[in-house]
Structure 1
Amino acid sequence: MPLSEFDIIARYFAQATPGREDVVLGIGDDAALIDPPAGQQLVVAIDTLVAGVHFPLETDPYDIGWKALAVNLSDLAAMGAQPAWLTLALTLEHNDDDWLAAFSRGLADLAGEYGIQLVGGDTTRGPLTVTVQVAGYLPPGQALTRKGATPGDEIWVSGTLGDAALGLRIAQGQLQADDSVKATLCRRLNRPEPRLALGIALRDVASSCIDISDGLLADLGHLCAAADCGASLHCADLPLSSAARELMSADSGLGDLPLTGGDDYELCFTAAASRHGAIQSLATQLDCPLSCIGLVEAENDIHCHDPDGQIRNISGHGYRHFNESN
């Protein structure tokens, strides 16, 4: 007999994540009851992943579970929030025990890293779709937002750029790579690491912040639009992994991916030039690479400068839903 939605919840999700003392009532009732920390503001984010749109159909279910949570935690990181609770809405074409077991492990493993409890959700039948909502908290007035950059601020990014976009092309059979490079880039695509510790550390440092989900240019564009300003980027300063450098050196057509490729889930933030040293210290303290890649400008446009000083003509500006050219 196939499992009902209630059986699925009980078997794979009810006890999958760590328990928290602030959860009064979790899975098993019409809604969850939570005692949020006194004197803290709640921060809530939600994202949906659709099979064939946000991940290839053949993606390992463990990776789908991991990534569904990771992309939401990246949003909390961009706000400087401490994550605490999550809900899951899962739509399945059919209930496959092996798929569910792997998916729930991926979700639970990442939740366990940060002490996040699954407190409810929904399970339905239909095309494979995963919606995760996360909630966390932070002290009032300390949230990082997209608005706040001013001309003269430095522009920083965490980690490396373009890895996930290269990994997607490898997964889709558009690029060939040796096993080591393939494993590195596909892991960056399928198991992003949310920069939560960095986001919290930036509360008193950054003037604005966003996570890079649709590509650096697209997401930096949101920061600039919110502050009514522009940016000047130095392409030579864009941080690249050795795996990305290897592929890009062999194919000049890949050169714009660090600017336009999505799914990196790194943080892009701005800060006053006077905080440069403090940010470098954070990189060491958190063991998190941070690179200064440009400056906020008064002019409402983003210019990308090649090493010779010429402005690069970029093909594409990141992922957009409902855009047929993606």
Structure 2
Amino acid sequence: MGEFDLIARYFTRPVRPGGGVALGVGDDCALLAPAPGMQLAVSCDMLVEGRHFFADVDPAHLGHKALAVNLSDLAACGARPLAFTLALALPRVDELWLQAFAGGLLRLADEHGCALVGGDTTAGPLNICITVFGEVPAGQALLRSGARAGDDIWVSGTLGDARLALEALQGRVQVPAGMLAAARARLETPTPRVALGLQLRGIATSALDVSDGLLGDLGHILRASGVGAEIDVDEVSKLIAASALSTGDRGHFDTELLRQCTLAGGDDYELAFTAPPARREAVARAAAAAATPVARIGRIRAEPGLRLVDAQGRALAGRYASFDHFAG
């Protein structure tokens, strides 16, 4: 099968009327048509075999995740998905693999009305690069730079499950089979919180998605906003229990492992955001409208730096380093 046959068979689809796309796959460029008064939100993420995913990953899950991590960036901006491009390097043409990969990719695309409008294919080590395009009303995008002293800090969903799966798959911790299956699902098929991001426009003062670890990612908000923060570590550690761990299983792991997973674990793709205390009811309504649970885990402080405290407000020591591709 040649390159253009591959594209035609697995990745070419008709343009959906009214979806913000004027021209899709087939020309040198796609043409997007955002609605009047809207700004384009653009993000790009790359997944590399051996770095971002295991070689034996289900290709349908890989297709899902490749798009999900990009949709998560749109969610953090409060943008509605429009379209995406796919650049795909393949070591060989494996039609069964391609069918499953395309299936996982395009099912998620259809869920969010996000059209595949172009890209590139080449021979080489397995590498997936997606650029996603969304739209957001001018001046309403959620940014990292708006947090203010006194704001609450919130996160969506659960944290740490993906890190727990990684620890188990790499043999550093023993996890019961059922628990591992639940945690691995969070690692391989994350849920982009697009609906919540849309609901938080006009409520959140800042936002980002948690991709490399809560504390490391939250640091981006603190630097961009020129503020500090205080985080309730015990409250954060509870968040892993909603997915991979039941209450009865919590004793299977020590406290430090739970803290490492929830504070520094990557691949969660939840939203971390800030909002004034006066908007707590508005946050609750937004979460309910998006059918997404949220938890309040701390507060923004005027003093620079990130302070970790326990449930009694006592300061905690400890270094919880988030993922960095080029860290030594």
TM range (shorter): over 0.9
CA RMSD between the two structures: 1.6
Contact 2:155 2:271 in 1 (8 A): yes
Q: Deviations over 1:136-162 (max 9, x none)?
A: 101110000000111100000000110
Residue 293 (structure 1) aligned with residue 291 (structure 2): no
Q: Deviations over 1:165-205 (max 9, x none)?
A: 11222233333323321221111111111111110111110
Cα distance in 2 for partners of 1:236, 1:94 equals 48
Distance apart, 1:308 and its partner CA: 4.0
Match runs of 1:228-239 below 5 Å: 228-238=226-236, 239=239
Counterpart of 1:215 in structure 2: which amino acid? G
Counterpart of 1:240 in structure 2: which amino acid? I
Residue 284 (structure 1) aligned with residue 285 (structure 2): no
Which of 124, 148, 151 is residue 149 of structure 2 equivalent to?
151
Tell me what 1:250 maps to.
252
Identity %: 46
Tell me what 1:273 maps to.
277
Cα distance in 2 for partners of 1:190, 1:171 equals 12
Q: Runs of 5+ in structure 2 lacking a partner?
A: none
How many pairs are equivalent?
321
Distance apart, 1:18 and its partner CA: 6.6
Scaled by the length of structure 2, what TM-score is found? 0.94
Match runs of 1:256-267 below 5 Å: 256=259, 257-267=261-271
Residue 80 (structure 1) aligned with residue 81 (structure 2): no
Q: Deviations over 1:296-326 (max 9, x none)?
A: 01111111112343322233320011113xx
Contact 2:199 2:289 in 1 (8 A): no
Aligned to 2:82, the other structure's residue is in SS state strand
Which of 305, 311, 315 is residue 315 of structure 2 equivalent to?
311
Scaled by the length of structure 1, what TM-score is found? 0.94
4+ residue segments displaced more than 4 Å: 245-248
Tell me what 1:241 maps to.
241
Tell me what 2:215 maps to.
217
Distance apart, 1:100 and its partner CA: 0.7
Contact 1:177 1:247 in 2 (8 A): no
Which of 181, 184, 189 is residue 183 of structure 1 equivalent to?
181
Distance apart, 1:25 and its partner CA: 2.0
Contact 2:15 2:21 in 1 (8 A): no
Residue 19 (structure 1) aligned with residue 16 (structure 2): yes
Cα distance in 1 for partners of 2:4, 2:172 equals 41
Contact 2:141 2:201 in 1 (8 A): yes
Cα distance in 2 for partners of 1:54, 1:204 equals 34
Tell me what 1:58 maps to.
56
